[in-house]
Structure 1
Amino acid sequence: MNAPLTRRSLFGFALGAAALTACSAPEPAPTPTPGSASRPTGTAATTSSAAPADTAPSGPATEVSRSDSGRPQVALTFHGAGDPRVTREVLDIVHQHGARITVLAVGTWLAAHPDAARMVRDGGHELGNHTWSHPALSGYAADPMYAEIQRCRDKLVELTGSPGGFFRQSQGQHATERELAEAGRAGYSKVLSYDVDSLDWQDPGPAAIRAAVAKAKAGSVVSMHLGHPGTVAALPGILTDLAGRGLTPVTASELLA
């Protein structure tokens, strides 16, 4: 009997469609086996002169996936990768609706399209770290896992002067203990997970994406993806639905303040 498809296995198929799939690396690195000390190809740590020096770990990061403030707000968070023209379309739509978003950027995307960081920041939105190459991160040993986080962090600092307020693990809704530990080691106090998956990474069509986001409630953190045309098509309706329910899309920092 064939094994059931999971998000992680489906994501592997999506990596082959770079034009439509956000969060995929141009050349995905092989996943080291747990406990391996080897560093994945293409993810060796390189620290730019603009990057902050690592400090003694203060402990693992804390995972947050929603706010319990009671305020009528939600955070639309986008995995940052894909065609920057699609990113521009997303930013134009949220601007028209007066919304603010959080983009968790993949490092290879930032390296290939450095203007993408400026587009996000110029629109009043915020950036965070979503690993360097978007691997199946939970299978990595500590050092190569840290290198994935560190390298994206350093690229964010190089381009924006800030490492971003959040790290988000790749290919998993919730962080493992090791991911929390390595995020803390890289200087992040919070790992931003989510309680609502838009399922746009499956390209199910705009209506299905809109229906999935309709599950969001006050305090929800919604996972979405740049680079998917279906997400762009669904977004106006999503924002109209949220407004009709009295929910304001804000950055994750605002939601969690």
Structure 2
Amino acid sequence: MTSPDRRSVLRAAAAVATGATATACTRGGADLAAARAAAPTTPRPASPRPAHAARPPTRAPGLPAQIAHGPRRGDAVALTFHGQGDPKTATALLHEAERAGARLTVLAVGTWLDEQPAMARRILDGGHELGNHTLHHRTICALPEDEAYAEITGCADRLRSLTGTIGSWFRPSRTQYATDRVVRLARRAGYPHVLSYDLDSLDADDPGAPAVQRTVLDGVRPGSVVSLHLGHPGTVAALPPILDGLHRRGLRAVTTTELVT
């Protein structure tokens, strides 16, 4: 039997041991919490901006093989851009459009895509649509058939390799309207329609932003398809007042596909 004095000593020792253990656990927990608080936090990676898919060639049943404008009774117009030139100027123009909630159609020249492949994704990620404006921007209606076809398919190949499709539209180079032969060649290459336009902004002549603005706003109508160019600073400067003018008339700038389908 253990004497009362010995039991008291044992109880006291156990109490001391238990207290020391509890203190150690508390201190250890506090140290761990402090260490966690002091440790650098690795920021969670930002979610990537969702990429917009490239559209396949647009089919608009009931519309002609060559389209120059959309419905005249609607509230939309299509601003279409020759895709070539300084990428900084092009990016500035896309930014102005996006800031105003406008969506554009860019018809890219194949050699420009060779030089500036990142522009294809930049255009699509802005919610715009991308199409084919021939490989070298030659006078396509004057070319022999095999060379004209190579101009169409050469750009189509670039678009397919960069985006997965041959683009929404084909627009002939150095002409407002394609000949019947070029329309047929475009169809053979996979484009149901050739995209023309009914309003030329004349911005390629660099007349200055106010002149571009006047030309567009004086001539635009519901359903208009307007021809403009990416690589001209005057066009970048003209775009905000053009979009403001359209808004005041109750018109929206949409992709050509949205306009006609």
TM-score, length basis structure 1? 0.75
Relative to total residues, which structure has the larger helix share, 1 or 2?
A: 2
User: Could you tell me how far 1:94 is from its partner in structure 2?
Assistant: 0.3
| Counterpart among 155, 177, 182 of residue 179 in structure 1 | 182
The answer as to whether partners of 2:71 and 2:259 remain within 8 angstroms in 1 is no
Distance 1:69 1:209, change over 3 A: closer
Q: Say if 2:233 is the partner of 1:229.
A: yes
Q: 1:251 aligns with which of 225, 244, 255?
A: 255
Residue in structure 2 matched with residue 137 of structure 1 by the alignment: 140
Q: Percent identity, please.
A: 52
- What is the TM-score with the length of structure 2 in the denominator? 0.74
Alpha-carbon distance in structure 2 between the residues aligned to 1:230 and 1:175: 28
Aligned: 1:161 with 2:164: yes
Gaps of 5+ in 1: 1-60
Q: Secondary structure at the match of 1:138?
A: helix
* Equivalence for 1:8: none
Cα distance in 2, alignment partners of residues 165 and 105 from structure 1: 11
Measured in 2, the distance between the counterparts of 1:107 and 1:179 equals 17
Q: Which amino acid aligns with 2:137?
A: H
Give the letter for the 2:200 counterpart: D
SS of 1:127's equivalent? strand
Distance across 1 between alignment mates of 2:73 and 2:156: 31
The DSSP-based 3-state class of the residue aligned with 2:130 is strand
- Work out whether residues 165 and 190 of structure 1, in 8 Å CA contact, stay in contact via their aligned partners in 2: no
Shift of 1:169: 0.3
Post-superposition CA distance 1:8-37 (Å, at most 9, x none): xxxxxxxxxxxxxxxxxxxxxxxxxxxxxx
Please show how residues 1-257 of structure 1 align to structure 2 within 5 Å: 62-68=65-71, 70-214=73-217, 215-257=219-261
Q: Provide the secondary structure at the position in 2 that maps to 1:208.
A: helix
Structure 2 counterpart SS, 1:74: strand
Cα distance between partner residues in 1 of 2:214 and 2:141 = 29
| CA displacement at 1:181 relative to structure 2 | 1.1
Say whether the 8 Å CA contact 1:78–1:225 is kept in structure 2: yes
Q: What RMSD over aligned residues (CA atoms) do the two structures have, in Å?
A: 0.9
Deviation at 1:69, TM superposition (A): 5.5
- Deviant stretches of 4+, over 6 Å: none
Aligned pairs, number: 197
How big is each residue's C-alpha offset from its partner over 1:84-134, in whole Å with a ceiling of 9 and x where there is no partner? Answer: 001110111001100000000000000100000011000000000000010
Equivalent pair of 1:86/1:229 in contact (CA under 8 Å): yes
Bigger Rg, which one: 2
Gapped regions of structure 2 (runs ≥ 5): 1-63
Give me the whole-angstrom Cα distance separating, in 2, the residues matched to 1:225 and 1:164. 18
